[in-house]
Chains A and B, each alone.
Chain A
């Protein structure tokens, strides 16, 4: 069965600190992987995605993620966070003929100025 695990539920960082959020997935076939962000009171927006090619993917706002197939992981990183990065971050995976899209439970990031 398809599943996604996010290990960090709540992360608190100071501005300029580096960020890494973990994401592991379970799926037997070819997958597409995503990171979405949800700012307070808003809907989800795409940060970045991986479907093939270079396993290091760059997204918007300085975020990047690395797909490590052997570890079934797709961790999100940012070298220096800003207060405006305060939000909830969701990892997601889809695949298969019906394109079922599953999300992790999310990581709430609070960046202190």
Chain B
């Protein structure tokens, strides 16, 4: 498995509190992604990064922010958690160029419950 670690793996938080999820990689890959997975919706892209300090919004970015201050870490912050953000969050990484480096490797996921 690719060196990608998500923390925490499980979290329960209260509505209105800020929450930060961390994705850490040891592969030195350029691209990093945050998705949420919900039944019937597949994986929806929240934000992604194409380099240090270079990020862009995905399909469902409202209520989320990200930061990437170094290659290995990509942080996802829920600014004020709501119950609609209860989900499983996956981080993914991929390299640069065509062929093998283009495939994405996924973390184990973070199950977030907002009560």
Contact = CB atoms under 8 A, between A and B. Distances in A.
- Chain A: number of interface residues, binned into ranges: 20 to 34
Contact of B92 (A32, A51, A98, A101): A101
Contact of A44 (B44, B56, B106): B106
Given A32-B98, A101-B48, A103-B43, A46 B90 contact: no
B64 interface: no
B42 A34 contact: no
A34 B54 CA distance: 24
Of the listed residues A49, A51, A101, the one surrounded by the most CB atoms of chain B closer than 10 A to its CB is A101
A61 interface: no
B106 A98 contact: no
Interface of B: 30-31, 33, 35, 40-45, 48, 50, 54, 56, 58-59, 90, 92, 94, 96, 98-99, 102-104, 106-109
16 contacts: A9-B40, A34-B103, A34-B104, A43-B108, A44-B92, A46-B104, A49-B103, A92-B104, A97-B50, A98-B50, A98-B54, A99-B96, A100-B58, A101-B104, A105-B41, A105-B42
